[in-house]
């Protein structure tokens, strides 16, 4: 089983002992003691190891391999040797040093099982290779030369320039793990999938930091994220993979929502953030790369800015008609044969949020007068969905030309932004970003233009109660917040992905918790 390894980067022995104890208590299976992080270049390694209750890897990385230890190779090897004599379970040694420096081979060899004549306690050798600026084209060649050395574990860590590097790394891991215990991961934000899916592919271990700010390599998740957000303990060979494609994607709430929902419903799946650079080329390369690796079991993708148009193009003829009219796909469903379906759950989320709040069904929206504020992406989904139901839609947008163009496309009306207070609508939907954090005192509709007969729907979800919604509530209007829409589109994706009803209340709670932490209520 793949071990969960906490990297311990404390600056002194006492702090290292305390951090190791915290890591084991938090769920780590093993700790990597980064001896190169210790302020004292000649620490008492025996005192350190004798007080750690659990499995250990001793690493003393030199600066030219991304660590902090200076150029004194003899002193560095001395620390590893001491760790071996003090019963560290594994010693990590860089492949380059091992290959080039006889002293390293001789001295480390004596304290590892490699040298059958060693009189000392026998530790196991991890041979590691790092590339901090790229992921080389021929990973297989590097793995092959490392497999020639009789180490117990081989490790390759490279920088992911793009997420396709992560896919290549997972292929290499799959290949090597059948021959030798292997650690294969990509550093950087685009590498997160290699760290989480290490367990699905049977890697020897994956690394985690104790907390943010204590990472020993870029892109390392925390123990808490691996265990609670990604539900590390539930990942196995059969786990299906889902995720959100975006750029940026680090702020996305979708992993928290979907992973919590998988857990609640008992679906064997994990949901990841996929950082894919803008443009159809990068989008196609990633999605095609997933499909070409059926053993990864990528079954569905949420798609966010700026990839909704590339997703539409990628799905080709297999796009639901209204998503094609909207010109945006936010969901790709991939079946076992690799066939892809493109859908849009935004318009359905808008319609269902409305009909729920108004206690009616979609048919009742026929001829209903609706005002849409805005003419961007969210407006397109709203206008498409509402005109499809036969509603009488009027678009108000700051840039009049955009309102006119959108209205023409969907057979709606367009009026000047300055006239937005003088509408006869039963429903007003704000799809502009006005009122969004941090400008929470702004509102797209003056307070005196609100009356109790109108339903006010604000698609902005941060803050949860915008100034527009607060004014509308005081005026006695029915109100719908952006979180309702956000959760509904995620719930619709969940059902498309899994064929199961989504735990909507739980998903809403996850979103509210995240939003409350990020920006407290007004
Ligand atoms: P977008 O395509 O960039 O469109 C932004 C719209 O806001 C445009 O119509 C723009 O008018 C208008 N706007 C921006 N600043 C304005 C201002 N100061 N005064 C008047 N109008 C202004 O963005 P989008 O993707 O449609 O997203 C818009 C909002 O919808 C965001 O707040 C987003 O959070 C929300 N949204 C929510 C959900 C959800 O699930 N709840 C989903 C998607 C989007 P111009 O054309 O004149 O620039």
The side-by-side arrangement of strands in the sheet containing 124-131 is 182-187, 153-159, 124-131, 90-94, 55-59, 30-34, 3-8, 205-209
346, 352, 471, 481: the active-site residue: 346
- Residue 359 to residue 263: CA distance in whole angstroms: 31
CATH of the domain at 334: 3.40.50.10860
CB of residue 344 inside a 6 A radius of ligand 1: no
What is the pLDDT, as a whole number, of residue 113?
Answer: 73
Q: Could you tell me the pTM of the whole model?
A: 0.94
Task: Specify the ligand 1 atom closest to the Cα of 486.
Answer: 40
Same domain membership, residue 316 and residue 208: no
Same domain membership, residue 375 and residue 280: no
Same domain membership, residue 281 and residue 198: no
CB of residue 404 inside a 6 A radius of ligand 1: no
408-413: average pLDDT: 97
What is the pLDDT, as a whole number, of residue 433?
Answer: 96
316-335: average pLDDT: 96
What is the pLDDT, as a whole number, of residue 432?
Answer: 97
99-125: average pLDDT: 79
Kindly list the distances between the CA atom of residue 491 and the CA atoms of 254, 393, 504, 508, in Å, as whole numbers in the listed order.
11, 26, 6, 10
* Tens-digit pLDDT profile for residues 9-25: 999 999 999 999 999 99
Same domain membership, residue 502 and residue 468: no
Task: Specify the ligand 1 atom closest to the Cα of 432.
Answer: 7
Beta bridge partners of 240: 269
The protein residue with its alpha carbon nearest to ligand 1, atom 22, reads 432
What is the pLDDT, as a whole number, of residue 393?
Answer: 98
What is the pLDDT, as a whole number, of residue 522?
Answer: 53
Domain assignment present for 485:
no
Q: How does residue 111 score in pLDDT terms, banded at 50, 70 and 90?
A: confident
From 261, 206, 192, 259, select the one nearest 228 (Cα to Cα): 259
- Residue 260 to residue 436: CA distance in whole angstroms: 26
Tokens 């397109």 label which residue?
380
Q: Which two tokens stand for residue 338?
A: 């690799």
* Tens-digit pLDDT profile for residues 445-488: 999 999 999 999 999 999 999 999 999 999 999 999 999 999 99
DSSP percent split of the chain into helix, strand, coil, nearest 5:
45, 20, 35
Q: Is 402 a catalytic residue?
A: no
Residue 519 has pLDDT above 70, yes or no: no
What is the pLDDT, as a whole number, of residue 518?
Answer: 59
Residue 118 has pLDDT above 60, yes or no: no
What is the pLDDT, as a whole number, of residue 303?
Answer: 97
Q: What is the distance of C-alpha 168 from the center of its chain?
A: 18
- Residue 302 to residue 296: CA distance in whole angstroms: 17
- Residue 136 to residue 159: CA distance in whole angstroms: 9
Q: What is the dihedral of CA 227, 213, 86, 118, to 10 degrees?
A: 80
Residue 93 has pLDDT above 70, yes or no: yes
DSSP 463: S
Q: How does residue 321 score in pLDDT terms, banded at 50, 70 and 90?
A: very high
23-37: average pLDDT: 97
What is the pLDDT, as a whole number, of residue 63?
Answer: 93
Kindly list the distances between the CA atom of residue 79 and the CA atoms of 42, 114, 155, 185, in Å, as whole numbers in the listed order.
8, 18, 20, 26
The protein residue with its alpha carbon nearest to ligand 1, atom 20, reads 398
The protein residue with its alpha carbon nearest to ligand 1, atom 6, reads 432
**Beta pairing class for 369-373 and 392-397:** parallel
* Tens-digit pLDDT profile for residues 69-80: 987 899 999 999
Same domain membership, residue 422 and residue 503: no
CATH of the domain at 218: 3.20.20.70
Residue 197 has pLDDT above 90, yes or no: yes
Q: Can you list the positions of beta strands (E) in 320-471?
A: 331-334, 340-343, 369-373, 392-397, 413-416, 427-430, 455-458
What is the pLDDT, as a whole number, of residue 517?
Answer: 72
Same domain membership, residue 269 and residue 380: no
Domain residues for the domain of 215 are 3-236
Same domain membership, residue 371 and residue 311: no
Domain assignment present for 359:
yes
**Total domain count for the chain?**
3
Same domain membership, residue 227 and residue 132: yes
């Amino acid at each position: 089983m793949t071990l969960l390894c906490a990297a311990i980067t404390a600056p002194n022995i006492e702090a290292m002992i305390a951090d190791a104890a915290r890591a084991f208590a938090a769920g780590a299976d093993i700790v990597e003691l980064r001896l190169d992080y210790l302020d004292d270049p000649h620490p008492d390694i025996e005192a350190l190891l004798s007080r750690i209750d659990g499995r250990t890897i001793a690493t003393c990385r030199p600066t030219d391999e991304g660590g902090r230890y200076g150029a004194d190779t003899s002193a560095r090897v001395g620390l590893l040797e001491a760790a071996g004599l003090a019963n560290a379970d594994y010693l990590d040694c860089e492949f380059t040093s091992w290959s080039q420096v006889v002293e390293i081979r001789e001295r480390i060899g004596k304290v590892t099982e490699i040298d059958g004549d060693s009189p000392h306690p026998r530790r196991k050798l991890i041979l590691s290779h790092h590339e901090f600026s790229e992921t080389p084209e021929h990973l297989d060649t590097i793995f092959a030369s490392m497999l020639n050395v009789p180490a117990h574990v081989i490790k390759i860590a490279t920088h992911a320039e793009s997420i396709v590097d992560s896919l290549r790394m997972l292929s290499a891991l799959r290949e090597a793990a059948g021959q030798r215990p292997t650690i294969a991961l990509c550093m950087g934000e685009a590498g997160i999938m290699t760290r989480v899916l290490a367990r699905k592919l049977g890697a020897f271990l994956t690394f985690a930091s104790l907390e943010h700010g204590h990472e020993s390599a870029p892109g390392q998740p925390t123990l808490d994220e691996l265990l609670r957000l990604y539900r590390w303990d539930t990942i196995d060979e059969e786990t299906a993979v889902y995720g959100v494609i975006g750029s940026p994607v680090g702020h996305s709430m979708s992993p928290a929502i979907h992973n919590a929902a998988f857990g609640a419903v008992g679906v064997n799946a994990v949901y990841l953030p996929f950082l894919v650079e803008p443009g159809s080329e990068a989008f196609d390369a990633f999605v095609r790369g997933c499909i070409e690796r059926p053993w990864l079991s990528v079954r569905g993708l949420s798609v966010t800015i700026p990839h909704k148009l590339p997703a539409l193009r990628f799905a080709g003829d297999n796009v639901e008609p209204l998503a094609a009219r909207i010109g945006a796909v936010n969901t790709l469903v991939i079946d076992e044969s690799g066939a892809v379906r493109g859908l849009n759950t935004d318009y359905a989320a808008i319609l269902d949020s409305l009909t729920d709040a108004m206690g009616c069904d979609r048919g009742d929206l026929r001829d209903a007068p609706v005002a849409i504020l805005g003419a961007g992406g969210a407006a397109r989904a709203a206008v498409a969905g509402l005109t499809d139901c036969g509603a009488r839609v009027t678009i108000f947008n700051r840039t009049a030309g955009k309102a006119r163009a959108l209205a023409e496309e969907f057979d709606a009306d367009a009026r000047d932004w300055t006239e937005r207070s003088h509408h006869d609508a039963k429903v007003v939907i704000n799809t502009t970003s006005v009122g969004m954090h941090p400008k929470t005192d702004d509102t797209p509709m003056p307070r005196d233009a609100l009356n109790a007969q109108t339903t006010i729907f604000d698609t902005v979800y941060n803050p949860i109660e915008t100034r527009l919604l607060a004014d509308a509530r005081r005026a006695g209007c029915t109100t719908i917040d952006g979180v309702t829409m956000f959760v509904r589109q995620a719930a619709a994706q969940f059902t498309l992905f899994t064929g199961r009803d989504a735990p909507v209340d739980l998903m809403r709670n996850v979103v509210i918790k995240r939003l409350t932490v990020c920006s407290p209520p007004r």
